């Protein structure tokens, strides 16, 4: 399989129009009153070491200096969030998901293998299915799960219902969902960053998951090559869609505080990080020295040292050259 690159899953059209669409959409949201409190402690860990991180699309983002959580501060109101998801921004997003559908299937195949390590059949609930790329990947991998999908978007649910008549479609807010049975697997792919009340999401998941079930999710990882390089310029800083951006440390605390524990965690597709960082440096979106942010953090790690040592030798980039020459 070809390595996944940033441009494969973020089409040119998306890259060109995202900012413009966001500015248009959020200028309308800013007119809606937000009387949510500005938090002076972290909603996850709960440190009081909170710092302003960036203002993006008229929303302030704070960072927790202890666990690293980046969060909208104040959080957007329900009205702002509803307006956002019912704006043309959502249709635009569904459109670029459609344009990159085939490429995105590849993101899900290793995730399906991971699920199958734990469960090969039973009831699977996918939350925030959007246009169903994961559902399609499950079909292609001939999985034998009994599938249900939950999504707030009417447009997405209509499309899912037409394409997959075998799947139970729940067009509602996950937090309001009430079904009389429990699930073996609950998946939230790149969805938890959209949820203001992470605690309520985990309580709901706890309630809906069988005792031996698995909760599997993905979310942007702010403690990563691409995030440490891009920082406040990262393309995923997209309030009020993305309201909580996390890393391993925040996730671990959040789960433990809500009666879950991490069984395994991975970061896959690092080729996306490399292609994204190259792109933002080439386009001058960040300074070349941004890479230094990451190197400074990693250079003291013995694993990194070993890999770098080998890389420098292989590429003849170590600081002393030994030459063997022969007569011609
Ligand atoms: Zn924190």
| Residue boundaries of the structural domains of the chain | 102-327
When pLDDT is averaged across residues 112-128 and rounded to a whole number, the result is 95
Q: How far is the CA of 48 from the centre of ligand 1 (A)?
A: 8
Provide the pLDDT for residue 115. Answer: 94
Provide the pLDDT for residue 20. Answer: 86
Provide the pLDDT for residue 17. Answer: 82
Q: How far is the CA of 51 from the centre of ligand 1 (A)?
A: 11
256, 236, 235, 233: which is closest to 244 by C-alpha?
Answer: 236
Q: How far is the CA of 299 from the centre of ligand 1 (A)?
A: 25
Whether 12 shows a pLDDT value over 90: the answer reads: no
Provide the pLDDT for residue 320. Answer: 76
Q: How far is the CA of 108 from the centre of ligand 1 (A)?
A: 30
Provide the pLDDT for residue 68. Answer: 95
Q: How far is the CA of 80 from the centre of ligand 1 (A)?
A: 25
Q: How far is the CA of 267 from the centre of ligand 1 (A)?
A: 21
Average pLDDT, the chain: 90
Whether 294 shows a pLDDT value over 80: the answer reads: yes
Q: How far is the CA of 295 from the centre of ligand 1 (A)?
A: 24
Q: How far is the CA of 63 from the centre of ligand 1 (A)?
A: 8
Q: How far is the CA of 255 from the centre of ligand 1 (A)?
A: 13
Q: How far is the CA of 46 from the centre of ligand 1 (A)?
A: 5
Whether 16 shows a pLDDT value over 70: the answer reads: yes
Tell me the backbone φ, ψ of residue 133, rounded to 5 degrees.
-65, -40
Provide the pLDDT for residue 2. Answer: 67
pLDDT bin (cut points 50, 70, 90) of residue 327 is low
Dist. CA 26–CA 87, nearest whole Å:
10
Answer for the pair 144, 41: CB distance below 8 angstroms, yes or no. Answer: no
Provide the pLDDT for residue 23. Answer: 87
Whether 8 shows a pLDDT value over 90: the answer reads: no
When pLDDT is averaged across residues 51-70 and rounded to a whole number, the result is 96
Q: For residues 227-247, b (16+ Cβ closer than 10 Å) or e, as one string?
A: bbbbbeebbbbbbbbbbbbbb
Q: How far is the CA of 65 from the centre of ligand 1 (A)?
A: 7
Q: How far is the CA of 47 from the centre of ligand 1 (A)?
A: 5
Structure tokens at 180: 């009389």
Provide the pLDDT for residue 1. Answer: 59
> For 175-195, what is each residue's pLDDT tens digit?
998 888 899 999 999 999 999
CATH architecture of the domain with residue range 102-327: 3-Layer(aba) Sandwich (3.40)
Dist. CA 252–CA 246, nearest whole Å:
10
CB within 5 A of ion ligand 1: which residues?
A: 42, 44-45, 47, 64, 66-67, 69
Write the DSSP string, 197-262: -HHHHHHHHHHHEEEEEEEEEE--BSSSHHHHHHGGG-TT--TTT--EEB-HHHHHHHHHTTT---
Q: How far is the CA of 109 from the centre of ligand 1 (A)?
A: 32
> For 135-171, what is each residue's pLDDT tens digit?
999 999 998 999 999 998 888 899 899 999 999 999 9
- pTM for this prediction: 0.89
Question: Coil, strand, or helix at residue 9?
Answer: helix
Q: How far is the CA of 302 from the centre of ligand 1 (A)?
A: 27
> For 190-215, what is each residue's pLDDT tens digit?
999 999 999 999 999 999 999 999 99
When pLDDT is averaged across residues 67-91 and rounded to a whole number, the result is 90
Provide the pLDDT for residue 193. Answer: 95
When pLDDT is averaged across residues 81-108 and rounded to a whole number, the result is 84
């Amino acid at each position: 399989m070809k390595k996944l690159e940033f441009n494969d899953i973020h089409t040119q059209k998306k890259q060109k129009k995202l900012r413009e669409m966001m500015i248009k959409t959020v200028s309308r949201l800013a007119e809606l009153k937000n009387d949510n409190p500005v938090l002076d402690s972290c909603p996850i860990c709960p440190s009081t070491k909170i710092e302003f991180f960036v203002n993006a699309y008229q929303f302030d983002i704070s960072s927790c200096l202890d666990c690293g959580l980046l969060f909208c501060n104040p959080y957007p109101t329900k009205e702002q969030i509803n307006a956002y998801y019912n704006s043309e921004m959502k249709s635009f997003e569904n459109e670029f998901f459609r344009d990159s559908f085939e490429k995105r299937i590849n993101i899900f195949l290793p995730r399906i293998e991971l699920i199958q390590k734990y469960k090969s059949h039973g009831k699977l609930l996918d939350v925030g299915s959007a246009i169903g790329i994961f559902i399609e990947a499950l079909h292609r991998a001939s999985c034998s799960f009994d599938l249900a999908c939950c999504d707030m978007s009417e447009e997405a649910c209509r499309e899912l219902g037409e394409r997959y008549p075998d799947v139970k479609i729940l067009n509602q807010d996950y937090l309001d969902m009430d079904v009389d049975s429990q699930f073996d697997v609950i998946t939230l792919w790149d969805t938890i960053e959209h949820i203001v009340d992470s605690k309520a999401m985990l309580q709901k998941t706890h309630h809906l998951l069988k005792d031996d079930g698995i909760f599997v999710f993905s979310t942007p990882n702010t403690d990563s090559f691409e995030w440490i390089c891009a920082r406040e310029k990262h393309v995923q800083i997209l309030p009020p869609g993305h309201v909580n951006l996390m890393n391993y440390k925040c996730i671990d605390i959040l789960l433990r505080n809500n009666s879950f524990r991490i069984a395994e965690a991975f970061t896959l597709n690092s080729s996306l990080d490399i292609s994204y960082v190259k792109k933002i440096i080439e386009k001058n979106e960040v300074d070349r020295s941004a890479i230094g942010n990451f190197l400074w953090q990693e250079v003291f790690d013995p694993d990194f040292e070993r890999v770098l040592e080998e890389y420098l030798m292989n590429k003849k980039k170590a600081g002393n050259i030994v030459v063997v020459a022969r007569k011609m």
